[in-house]
Amino acid sequence: MNASGLFAPVIPERIIVTEYTIGYIVGSISSTSINRRLAKALEKVAPEGVTLKEIPIKDLPFYSPDHDGNFPEVATTFKTAIEDADGMIIVTPEYSRSIPGVLKNALDWSARPYGEASFNDKPTAVVGTSQGGIATAAGQQHLRAVLLHYNALVLGQPEGYIQSTPGLFEEDGTVTDEGTAEFLRSIIEALVTLVARTAPAEVPAA
């Protein structure tokens, strides 16, 4: 059983046999974002061999199909960073039972030009925090639907519904509750397990 009360993933012992780079997107550009604190907390609790690296979205212009023939550099850099990562984590706030527009805009860039979705086949975990008990869960369900449309390999469990209470995450990402730190670590471990399981098999040269 995990903190979401449902299915705990089976994580083989010592699954981490190599170095993994996990990209993450924070779906908030607020200077006081609690989801950014959560992202920093994930960075802090990542197991040895796993490096978390932010892929920023704040400088992306609004997406329009007018860009399809000539993507701005900031957008190609964004797409390449997703494609180069072994796996992805999206840390999202809930806005009105969905995700913030800035995050949807970034995901629109990731999905275009048509046929070149950067999340295609990408192991991806979804997490988020909100002050209210259910808010982040509602937002994350929308996000999961979008990612599945891109054919991302969306991690089913654990579900990262974190209720933000005052002092739970310090500004530098320190998690003040060991149970929460352990739960966050288990999400990264489950994602890395998914990365390892879905890595293309190496075919020996003929």
Ligand X SMILES: Cc1cc2nc3c(=O)[nH]c(=O)nc-3n(C[C@H](O)[C@H](O)[C@H](O)COP(=O)(O)O)c2cc1C
- By CB under 6 A, name the binding residues for ligand X: 28, 30, 33-35, 93-97, 130, 132, 135
Q: Which residue, 94 or 189, has its beta carbon nearer to ligand X? A: 94
* Residue whose CB is less far from ligand X, 135 or 191: 135
Between 130 and 193, name the residue whose CB sits nearer to ligand X.
130
Q: Which is nearer to ligand X, 106 or 117 (CB)?
A: 106
Q: What phi, psi does 36 have (nearest 5°)?
A: -65, -40
Count CB neighbours of 11 within 10 A: 13
Q: Measured from the CB of residue 97, what is the shortest distance to ligand X in angstroms?
A: 6
* Three-class secondary structure of residue 172 per DSSP: coil
| Nearer of residues 129 and 186 to ligand X, judged by Cβ | 129
Q: Which residues contact 89 (CB under 8 A, 6 or more apart)?
A: 22, 23, 24, 25, 39, 42, 52, 124, 125, 126, 127, 187, 188, 191
Element containing residue 161 per DSSP (H, E): strand 160-163
**In angstroms, what is the minimal distance from the CB of 134 to ligand X?**
8
Q: Where are the alpha helices (DSSP H) in 28-174?
A: 34-45, 73-84, 101-111, 135-149
Which of 38, 117 has the CB closer to ligand X? 38
> In the complex, what is the shortest distance from the CB of residue 52 to ligand X, in angstroms, rounded to a whole number?
17
DSSP 175: B
Minimal distance, residue 140 CB to ligand X, in Å: 12
At closest approach, how far in Å is the CB of 38 from ligand X?
A: 8
Using alpha carbons, select from 149, 142, 91 the residue that is nearest to residue 117.
149
- Within 13 Å and on the Cβ side, how many CA atoms surround 192? 25
Q: How many CA atoms lie within 13 A of 6 on its CB side?
A: 7
Instruction: Output the smallest distance, CB 27 to ligand X, in A.
Output: 8
